[in-house]
Structure 1
Amino acid sequence: MNPSEIDRIIAILPFLSTIPHRDWQHAELVSIDPSTPHRIQEGHMLQHAMFMVKGSVRIHKISEQGREITLYRVQGGQSCVLMMASILGESEYEASASIEVESEILLIAVGVFREWMDHNKPLRQFIYQQFVQRITAVTNLLEDIAFKPMNYRLAHFLYTNTNDDLTALKITHEQLAVELGTAREVISRMLKDFQNQGILSLSRGNIRIIDRFALEEIIQQYRS
């Protein structure tokens, strides 16, 4: 890896700035897009630590019945804490990962990564901070699944993924079901209810928000 490429990566992943340039020979920058037959599945023993330079990877769980739920996304400047836990704990990966858009990923062999962790405080601090942030996010997700009704979760997803200027969301009912961890039929029925209430309009693969205030009212109803 040449010095200019290393400098570009460090600008995005500044916690790697303390890694000596000579040690970067053990790292590899790869480009992957969704069409590449590359997917990390639950149960894999990982051979590399991965840091996102750019792009987006969806981290998700798949039940024995084949139902999916999105746990979180890893984007530029981030890492997957479940991958780090697997590597540091020398255990199988506890989720699945799918590339969503063209992405650049920094790969570091597991043995080298453990050495970097031992000798570089900024890297350790970054990993620990990522653990805290992701654990909080996943805990909130579990609380929503356990204690909040689906109409709240759907309203919250639609509200947070649109705004006053961007009212249309390009997503299928099946994709929404995967995001929220439920059946497509449940999502279709609830979207139809929202449409009948004048909250949104539906077309093939698209949802257009008509009344954001109504979505906000649903959200606030279950937050109080």
Structure 2
Amino acid sequence: MGATRFGVGRARESAEGRRGAQALARVAVIVRAGAAPLWWLGLAAAAIGVLLPGLTGRWTGAVAGTALFLVTAFVVALVRRGRYTRLAGCATRVGRHDILQDRRVTLRVWRRAHRWWLLLAFLAAVGSSFAVPFAGGAVLSGAGAGLWAKAVLLGRRERTEETLLWVGADRVAKGPAGTRTTGFRTTGVAAGDAAPGGARRRH
């Protein structure tokens, strides 16, 4: 009778643990999700812009675009760096029953949630080429490069500390370091299917 009660208690504890489980997505994968779409859409918009003389002329547009690319990449790479550091500093270990979301699922969710914003950004970049050729596309590509650089910086931290950073999967669409995020979660570097920095893990 005692053994039966003990078994029921363990089963109930296990069930409660599963009910409290949380789906988690990699922070670096979320950051990296917009890098490729912005980069390629920016290159396409810039290529279209080169075909247009614009109000300023192609040469002026190319010079302005190059400067905007560098500034945008720098700003995007460093924005909220302090908040990422604080959230990582108070990170807690992933629970036994938590579910680690696959990299491809995280990418798909982010891109689906932002597909209209990406389209509008592309159209705006192409439209701006009638005024300043190349510049709008350069801004988009710069944002993509900045996100990639931010993911690389996160990956460097993950390698140094030998932990991967995770956040609730409900934060994928709104960003991992938003105001509603109170802290990250951590696992060892072997967890999940993405390497430090969010890239596809090499086998």
Scaled by the length of structure 1, what TM-score is found? 0.27
- Bigger radius of gyration, 1 or 2? 2
Point out which structure has higher relative CO (alpha carbons under 8 A, 6+ apart). 2
- Give the structure with the larger strand fraction: 1
Pick the structure with more helix per residue: 2
Q: Normalising to structure 2: TM-score of the pair?
A: 0.29
